[in-house]
């Protein structure tokens, strides 16, 4: 029974990752886009966890939820905040 719940949760998480990725690409404000991208990365971390890959979760959470948004925020601060017009 617990496996069924885990898998249903995994289905919801994968759909949420699609929504977050779409918002991250469409958003004009780069800071908001980076936050959406971090949400999408957190969803992927949950997917990795349920797919029995604890090693990848350990490396993925600091890299994709912590360091990559920090780098992109640094770049946004040093360049332009708005994408497009």
Partner 1 sequence: MEFPVIVASVIVVSLYVNLGIALYGIFARPSLVKKLLAITILSDTANAFAVLVGYRWPRTGTPQPPVLMNTTDYNESIKYYVEHAVDPLPQALVLTAIVIGLAVTLFIAFIIIQYYRLHGTVDVRKTKALSR
Partner 2 sequence: MKKSEICVIVSIIIFIFSLAYITSLGGLGYLPPVDVRKLAQIYLSSTYNPFEPTNTSSGYESVTAIVWDFRGLDTFFETAVFYGAIIASIAVYRGVEIDTRKKPIGMSPIAKTVTRLSTVLIPTVAASIAFHGHLTPGGGFQAGSVATVVIVLIVMVFGLRKVILKGLTKPKILLLRSLGLIGIGLTAIGLVLAGLVIGVNAYIFQNQAKPIARISYPMWVDDILVGGSLLLFNLFEFIAVTAGFALVLMLFSIEEEEVRKVIK
Q: How many angstroms separate the CA atoms of 7 and 32, rounded?
A: 30
| From partner 1, partner 2, none, interface partner of 38 (C-beta below 5 to 8 A by class) | none
Q: How many angstroms separate the CA atoms of 22 and 74, rounded?
A: 23
Least separation in angstroms between CB 54 and partner 2: 4
Q: How many angstroms separate the CA atoms of 38 and 33, rounded?
A: 9
29 Cβ contact partners less than 8 Å away, ≥ 6 residues apart: 81, 82, 83
Residues in touch with partner 1 (CB under 8 A): 3-4, 7-8, 10-11, 14-15, 17-18, 21-22, 24-25, 30, 33-34, 37, 40-41, 44, 47-48, 51-56, 59-60, 63-64, 67-68, 71-72, 74-76, 78-80, 83-84
| From partner 2, partner 1, none, interface partner of 29 (C-beta below 5 to 8 A by class) | none
> What CA–CA distances, in Å, run from 80 to 14, 17, 44?
31, 26, 28
Minimum CB distance to partner 2 smaller for 19 or for 59: 59
Least separation in angstroms between CB 48 and partner 1: 6
């Amino acid at each position: 029974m617990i496996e069924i719940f885990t898998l249903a949760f995994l289905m919801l998480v994968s759909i949420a990752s699609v929504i977050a990725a779409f918002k991250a690409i469409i958003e004009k404000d780069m800071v908001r886009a980076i936050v959406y991208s971090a949400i999408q990365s957190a969803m992927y971390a949950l997917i990795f966890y349920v797919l029995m890959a604890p090693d990848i979760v350990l490396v993925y959470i600091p890299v994709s939820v912590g360091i990559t948004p920090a780098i992109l925020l640094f770049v946004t601060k040093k360049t332009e905040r708005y994408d497009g017009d």
